[in-house]
């Protein structure tokens, strides 16, 4: 709800895409990592960049003090 099912990658032009995923900002190591502050919505294209390329995806969502780089 916080991200309104919209990719939170800065500069992403995927607004309005129906297909999004929830990504863990910090790698999931414990149940505590499932807190809302550690989750961000990405479109499939940006999610693929994070996991399958060397490209850096920068995200910022409501409540995040500063942008974070996902690698």
CA dihedral 39, 42, 46, 50 (to 10 degrees): 10
10 vs 18, more confident: 10
Residue 14, SS3 per DSSP = coil
Which among 58, 44, 41 has a CA at the least distance from the CA of 3? 41
Confidence label for 61 from pLDDT (cuts 50, 70 and 90):
confident
pLDDT beyond 90 at 59: yes
Mean pLDDT confidence for 57-65: 87
The stretches of the chain forming alpha helices (DSSP H) are 44-52
Mean pLDDT confidence for 4-8: 89
Q: What is the pLDDT of residues 20-58, one digit of tens each?
A: 899 998 887 776 788 888 899 999 999 999 999 999 999
What confidence score (pLDDT) does residue 16 get?
A: 59
Site of tokens 């790698």: 27
């Amino acid at each position: 709800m916080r991200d309104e099912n919209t990719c939170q990658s800065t500069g992403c032009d995927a607004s309005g895409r129906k297909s999004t995923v929830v990504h863990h900002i910090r790698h999931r190591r414990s149940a505590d990592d499932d807190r809302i502050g550690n989750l961000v919505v990405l479109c499939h294209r940006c999610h693929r960049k994070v996991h399958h390329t060397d490209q850096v995806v920068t995200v910022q969502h409501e409540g995040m003090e500063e942008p974070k780089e996902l690698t």
